[in-house]
Amino acid sequence: MTLAQRWNALLADLRAAGRQRTLELPSGIDLVSNDYLAYGGSRQPRLDPALAGLPRSGLASRLLRGHHPLWEQVEDTLARWHGADSALVFSSGYTANEGLLAAILEPGDWVASDACNHASIIDGLRLARAERFVFRHNDLEHLEDGVRVARRTARAGSQRFIVSESLFSMDGDRAPLTELVSLARRYDAWLILDEAHATGCFGASGSGLVDTADARADVLATIHTGGKALGVAGAYVCGPALLREVLINRCRPFIFTTALPPVVAAWWLAALAQVKDDSAGRASLHSAALLFRQELAQQGIVAGGEDYIVPIVLGGDARASAIANRLQAGGWDVRAIRPPTVPPGTARLRLAIHADHPPEVLRSAAAAVAEAIRECGEEAV
């Protein structure tokens, strides 16, 4: 078989399973992006004009000439925002998760990971070579079963870790933070929480669910992205200064990549200045999500989660795609989320509500979603 035949066969299999991906240009009203506070659109933070002319390349790794005073300023600001010892910026949340986990987990360590954790966590754990225990989504009993055995059989010097998202990206529900903290404490495990979808959107200053739960001192590290609510490229890890030093020395996706450009650091400062005082944006976001959920419920549609990520599980891939296509034809940017992003049989619409979605748009969106689901009965696809 030639390489081209192999690839054509692979793509044909995906097509036959209704799982082929294509790149589609944005079109229609945005109910898909993670621009929760609309900082990527109508509520974009203003950049200090004096900073607009900064270099547009990082020029080298942060360990070489890619470091810049603005990154120190960004990381200090981030650490203060979270009340954390330190912050370290990465090119993306994907590389932050992957790099962090691969850098700190050693052979002989044990790590528990929620079954619905993001691909970047899964890939970081694959690289890490620690013993992995995947617990059923948000199932504390299952987690406790695993960690109890791990503690009993632990070798001297080994460490235990628990990794979870705080607000789940595809399910829209929250991790039981208080219970995770207490379980981690009881079993001497380190807690690592991915705040990708919570950053900017919870708490008086928007610093996320961990800080809102007053759990900063109870977690080893949190991972945050800029590309979602903050509307800026990049990501960061918060944690003890010692962890930051370890990452600077051992974390391959931090070391072996060109730094983000200084102009991006200026955008970070603009986003951070805005988000801390943006209680109004957060209030609009949460009330928009509530309204949308109420409208869906009135239409008889059952959605998962409780916040601004609104998944509607539809089952088969073809059905989810047909419903998404129908909505797109009606002017809504809604995409079907299919395996392997979500488990087989749970293809879904994943709608993301934004702070600038007006009530009339949310009402029509809910009606359009309900109509598309009704029109695409199981038999129709």
Task: Output the CA torsion sign for 354, 357, 363, 369.
Answer: negative
Footprint of ligand PLP on 151-170 (CB under 6 A): 165, 169
Residue whose C-alpha is closest to residue 376's, from 331, 329, 314, 334: 314
Active site residue 137: no
x/- mask, ligand PLP, residues 190-209, rule CB under 6 A, reads ----x-xx------------
The least CB distance from residue 166 to ligand PLP, in Å, is 9
Identify which range of 189-197, 301-309, 356-364, 369-377 contacts ligand PLP by CB under 6 A. 189-197
82 near ligand PLP, judged by CB under 6 A = no
Edge to edge, the sheet with strand 336-337 lists 309-315, 347-352, 336-337
For ligand PLP, the closer of residues 263 and 291 by Cβ is 263
Residue whose C-alpha is closest to residue 61's, from 317, 334, 300, 259: 259
- With 0-12 / 13-18 / 19 or more C-beta atoms within 10 angstroms meaning exposed / middle / buried, residue 98 is buried
Q: Which residue among 68, 118, 197, 354 is the active-site one?
A: 197
The least CB distance from residue 230 to ligand PLP, in Å, is 10
Footprint of ligand PLP on 207-226 (CB under 6 A): 225
Q: Which residue among 68, 118, 228, 357 is the active-site one?
A: 228
Footprint of ligand PLP on 326-365 (CB under 6 A): none
Q: What is the CA radius of gyration of the chain?
A: 21
Q: Which helix (H) or strand (E) holds 112?
A: strand 110-114
Closest residue to ligand PLP, Cβ-based?
Answer: 93
d(CA 271, CA 207): 12
92 near ligand PLP, judged by CB under 6 A = yes
- Number of residues near ligand PLP (by CB under 6 A): 14
Q: Which residue among 86, 92, 120, 169 is the active-site one?
A: 169
- Phi, psi angles (nearest 5°) of residue 336: -85, 130
Q: What angle do CA 94, 168, 146 make, to 5 degrees?
A: 90
Please identify every residue annotated as catalytic. Answer: 169, 197, 228
Which residues sit at the interface with ligand PLP, rule CB under 6 A?
92-94, 97, 118, 120, 165, 169, 194, 196-197, 225, 227, 235
